[in-house]
Amino acid sequence: MKRKLQFSTKLFAVTFVSAFILTSSTLFAQVKIGANSTTIGANSNLEVEATNANKTVITKDAGKLIVDGNAQIKTLPAAALADKSVAADASGNLTLRANVTVAPLGLLTGPTRYTSDQVNVAVNAVRTGNVVCLEGNINALETLAPNENGNEFRIALIPAGYTPRVVQQGPSGGNFGLQHADAWEIYTPIIYTNGAVGFYLPDAEFTINHNVSLNGVCYIVN
Protein backbone atom coordinates (compact mmCIF):
# COMPACT_ATOMS: atom_id res chain seq x y z
CA MET A 1 0.00 0.00 0.00
CA LYS A 2 2.84 2.33 0.81
CA ARG A 3 4.51 1.66 -2.54
CA LYS A 4 1.26 2.39 -4.40
CA LEU A 5 0.96 5.75 -2.59
CA GLN A 6 4.52 6.69 -3.51
CA PHE A 7 3.83 5.76 -7.14
CA SER A 8 0.63 7.81 -7.15
CA THR A 9 2.46 10.80 -5.67
CA LYS A 10 5.22 10.58 -8.27
CA LEU A 11 2.68 10.20 -11.09
CA PHE A 12 0.81 13.28 -9.88
CA ALA A 13 4.04 15.30 -9.72
CA VAL A 14 5.04 14.30 -13.25
CA THR A 15 1.56 15.08 -14.55
CA PHE A 16 1.59 18.50 -12.83
CA VAL A 17 5.02 19.43 -14.21
CA SER A 18 4.02 18.32 -17.70
CA ALA A 19 0.86 20.38 -17.53
CA PHE A 20 2.86 23.37 -16.26
CA ILE A 21 5.34 23.11 -19.14
CA LEU A 22 2.60 22.69 -21.74
CA THR A 23 0.72 25.74 -20.50
CA SER A 24 3.74 27.93 -19.78
CA SER A 25 3.70 29.41 -23.27
CA THR A 26 0.23 30.75 -22.53
CA LEU A 27 0.74 31.70 -18.91
CA PHE A 28 4.07 33.44 -19.44
CA ALA A 29 3.72 34.84 -22.96
CA GLN A 30 3.91 38.30 -21.34
CA VAL A 31 6.41 39.26 -18.67
CA LYS A 32 6.25 42.44 -16.59
CA ILE A 33 9.10 43.60 -14.35
CA GLY A 34 9.20 46.56 -12.00
CA ALA A 35 6.40 48.97 -11.12
CA ASN A 36 2.74 48.09 -11.86
CA SER A 37 3.77 44.48 -12.24
CA THR A 38 0.19 43.27 -12.79
CA THR A 39 -0.42 45.52 -15.79
CA ILE A 40 1.12 44.97 -19.22
CA GLY A 41 0.34 46.23 -22.70
CA ALA A 42 -1.58 43.92 -25.02
CA ASN A 43 1.22 44.04 -27.61
CA SER A 44 4.08 43.59 -25.14
CA ASN A 45 6.10 40.42 -24.76
CA LEU A 46 8.24 42.09 -22.11
CA GLU A 47 7.84 45.32 -20.17
CA VAL A 48 10.21 46.86 -17.65
CA GLU A 49 8.59 49.81 -15.89
CA ALA A 50 10.30 52.36 -13.65
CA THR A 51 8.62 54.03 -10.70
CA ASN A 52 8.15 57.18 -12.81
CA ALA A 53 6.13 55.11 -15.36
CA ASN A 54 8.84 55.14 -18.05
CA LYS A 55 8.91 51.79 -19.84
CA THR A 56 11.18 49.66 -21.97
CA VAL A 57 9.12 47.28 -24.11
CA ILE A 58 9.70 44.37 -26.48
CA THR A 59 6.69 44.19 -28.80
CA LYS A 60 4.87 41.02 -29.85
CA ASP A 61 4.15 41.90 -33.45
CA ALA A 62 7.57 43.11 -34.60
CA GLY A 63 10.00 42.41 -31.78
CA LYS A 64 10.90 46.09 -31.56
CA LEU A 65 12.56 47.64 -28.55
CA ILE A 66 10.61 50.74 -27.53
CA VAL A 67 11.96 53.08 -24.87
CA ASP A 68 9.75 55.43 -22.83
CA GLY A 69 6.81 54.73 -25.12
CA ASN A 70 8.38 56.46 -28.10
CA ALA A 71 11.96 55.94 -29.13
CA GLN A 72 12.52 52.85 -31.23
CA ILE A 73 15.93 51.36 -31.80
CA LYS A 74 16.06 50.14 -35.38
CA THR A 75 18.53 48.63 -37.78
CA LEU A 76 19.08 51.23 -40.47
CA PRO A 77 18.98 50.02 -44.08
CA ALA A 78 22.02 50.05 -46.32
CA ALA A 79 20.69 53.26 -47.86
CA ALA A 80 22.20 55.03 -44.86
CA LEU A 81 25.51 54.79 -46.68
CA ALA A 82 24.19 56.56 -49.77
CA ASP A 83 24.77 60.21 -48.82
CA LYS A 84 22.16 60.26 -46.08
CA SER A 85 22.16 61.26 -42.43
CA VAL A 86 20.45 59.65 -39.46
CA ALA A 87 17.87 61.88 -37.82
CA ALA A 88 15.05 61.48 -35.31
CA ASP A 89 11.40 62.41 -35.74
CA ALA A 90 9.19 64.03 -33.10
CA SER A 91 8.58 60.65 -31.46
CA GLY A 92 12.25 59.77 -31.28
CA ASN A 93 12.14 57.24 -34.12
CA LEU A 94 15.29 57.02 -36.23
CA THR A 95 14.89 58.10 -39.83
CA LEU A 96 17.09 58.70 -42.84
CA ARG A 97 17.38 62.16 -44.35
CA ALA A 98 19.07 62.83 -47.65
CA ASN A 99 21.93 65.33 -47.74
CA VAL A 100 20.27 67.64 -50.23
CA THR A 101 21.26 70.81 -52.00
CA VAL A 102 19.08 73.69 -50.87
CA ALA A 103 18.63 77.31 -51.88
CA PRO A 104 21.85 78.88 -50.58
CA LEU A 105 21.65 82.67 -50.48
CA GLY A 106 19.60 85.44 -52.00
CA LEU A 107 20.78 88.98 -52.60
CA LEU A 108 19.54 91.56 -50.13
CA THR A 109 17.15 93.99 -51.76
CA GLY A 110 16.63 97.69 -51.14
CA PRO A 111 17.93 101.12 -52.16
CA THR A 112 21.36 100.62 -50.54
CA ARG A 113 21.84 96.99 -51.57
CA TYR A 114 23.89 95.57 -54.40
CA THR A 115 22.39 94.08 -57.55
CA SER A 116 23.38 91.03 -59.57
CA ASP A 117 25.20 93.41 -61.93
CA GLN A 118 27.49 94.42 -59.08
CA VAL A 119 28.09 91.14 -57.24
CA ASN A 120 27.93 87.51 -58.21
CA VAL A 121 26.98 84.95 -55.55
CA ALA A 122 28.35 81.60 -56.75
CA VAL A 123 27.47 79.33 -53.87
CA ASN A 124 26.28 75.77 -53.30
CA ALA A 125 24.53 74.86 -50.06
CA VAL A 126 24.29 71.29 -48.80
CA ARG A 127 22.03 70.32 -45.93
CA THR A 128 23.26 67.52 -43.67
CA GLY A 129 20.69 66.82 -41.01
CA ASN A 130 19.64 70.22 -39.65
CA VAL A 131 22.80 72.05 -40.68
CA VAL A 132 23.35 73.82 -44.01
CA CYS A 133 26.91 74.70 -45.00
CA LEU A 134 27.98 76.85 -47.93
CA GLU A 135 30.67 76.30 -50.52
CA GLY A 136 31.61 79.02 -52.96
CA ASN A 137 32.25 82.74 -53.01
CA ILE A 138 30.94 86.24 -53.60
CA ASN A 139 32.68 88.03 -56.45
CA ALA A 140 32.79 91.79 -57.08
CA LEU A 141 31.77 92.61 -60.66
CA GLU A 142 32.73 96.23 -60.08
CA THR A 143 34.54 98.12 -57.33
CA LEU A 144 32.07 98.72 -54.52
CA ALA A 145 31.83 101.02 -51.52
CA PRO A 146 30.32 99.90 -48.18
CA ASN A 147 26.54 99.89 -47.88
CA GLU A 148 26.49 99.87 -44.06
CA ASN A 149 28.16 101.89 -41.32
CA GLY A 150 31.68 100.99 -40.24
CA ASN A 151 33.03 99.84 -43.59
CA GLU A 152 30.55 96.97 -43.73
CA PHE A 153 29.36 95.28 -46.89
CA ARG A 154 26.08 93.40 -46.53
CA ILE A 155 25.49 91.25 -49.58
CA ALA A 156 23.04 88.39 -49.18
CA LEU A 157 20.51 86.74 -46.89
CA ILE A 158 20.18 83.13 -45.77
CA PRO A 159 16.84 81.48 -46.71
CA ALA A 160 13.71 81.79 -44.59
CA GLY A 161 13.34 79.09 -41.97
CA TYR A 162 17.02 79.09 -40.96
CA THR A 163 19.13 80.91 -38.39
CA PRO A 164 22.90 81.46 -38.20
CA ARG A 165 24.77 78.62 -36.56
CA VAL A 166 27.48 80.96 -35.26
CA VAL A 167 26.61 84.62 -34.90
CA GLN A 168 29.41 87.04 -35.78
CA GLN A 169 27.93 90.50 -35.67
CA GLY A 170 29.62 93.82 -36.33
CA PRO A 171 33.31 94.85 -36.19
CA SER A 172 33.17 94.94 -32.39
CA GLY A 173 32.34 91.23 -32.29
CA GLY A 174 36.00 90.37 -32.61
CA ASN A 175 35.43 87.07 -34.41
CA PHE A 176 36.49 87.81 -37.96
CA GLY A 177 39.94 86.41 -38.47
CA LEU A 178 41.77 88.36 -41.17
CA GLN A 179 39.45 90.92 -42.74
CA HIS A 180 41.75 91.87 -45.60
CA ALA A 181 44.70 89.78 -46.73
CA ASP A 182 46.41 91.87 -49.41
CA ALA A 183 48.48 88.98 -50.71
CA TRP A 184 45.38 87.02 -51.71
CA GLU A 185 42.67 89.67 -51.70
CA ILE A 186 40.27 87.32 -49.95
CA TYR A 187 37.97 88.70 -47.30
CA THR A 188 36.51 86.75 -44.38
CA PRO A 189 32.69 86.69 -44.33
CA ILE A 190 30.53 87.32 -41.30
CA ILE A 191 26.92 86.42 -40.65
CA TYR A 192 24.61 88.75 -38.74
CA THR A 193 21.83 87.98 -36.27
CA ASN A 194 19.20 88.78 -38.91
CA GLY A 195 20.72 86.22 -41.30
CA ALA A 196 22.47 88.72 -43.55
CA VAL A 197 25.86 87.66 -44.90
CA GLY A 198 28.57 90.25 -45.44
CA PHE A 199 32.03 91.36 -44.41
CA TYR A 200 34.01 94.27 -42.98
CA LEU A 201 36.92 95.84 -44.86
CA PRO A 202 39.26 98.29 -43.12
CA ASP A 203 40.05 100.05 -46.41
CA ALA A 204 36.32 100.32 -47.29
CA GLU A 205 36.74 98.99 -50.82
CA PHE A 206 35.50 95.75 -52.36
CA THR A 207 37.65 95.81 -55.49
CA ILE A 208 36.46 94.47 -58.84
CA ASN A 209 37.24 90.76 -59.43
CA HIS A 210 38.06 90.17 -55.78
CA ASN A 211 36.36 87.33 -53.92
CA VAL A 212 34.88 86.56 -50.53
CA SER A 213 35.04 82.84 -49.75
CA LEU A 214 31.91 81.51 -48.07
CA ASN A 215 33.36 78.08 -47.34
CA GLY A 216 32.50 77.09 -43.80
CA VAL A 217 29.60 79.52 -43.36
CA CYS A 218 26.74 77.47 -41.93
CA TYR A 219 23.19 77.93 -40.69
CA ILE A 220 20.62 75.64 -39.09
CA VAL A 221 16.94 74.80 -39.38
CA ASN A 222 14.79 76.90 -37.04
The more confidently predicted of residues 24 and 212 is 212
pLDDT at position 144:
93
- The pLDDT score that the predictor gives to residue 118 is 96
pLDDT in tens, 198-218: 887 777 888 898 888 888 778
Domains in the chain: boundaries: 2-98, 101-221
Identify the band that residue 23 occupies on the pLDDT scale cut at 50, 70 and 90.
very low
N-term to C-term CA, the chain: 87
Q: Is 80 exceeded by the pLDDT of residue 169? A: no
Lowest average pLDDT, out of 20-24, 42-46, 171-175, goes to 171-175
State pLDDT tens for residues 173-201.
Answer: 333 333 333 333 345 677 776 788 888 77
Q: What is the pTM of this model?
A: 0.53
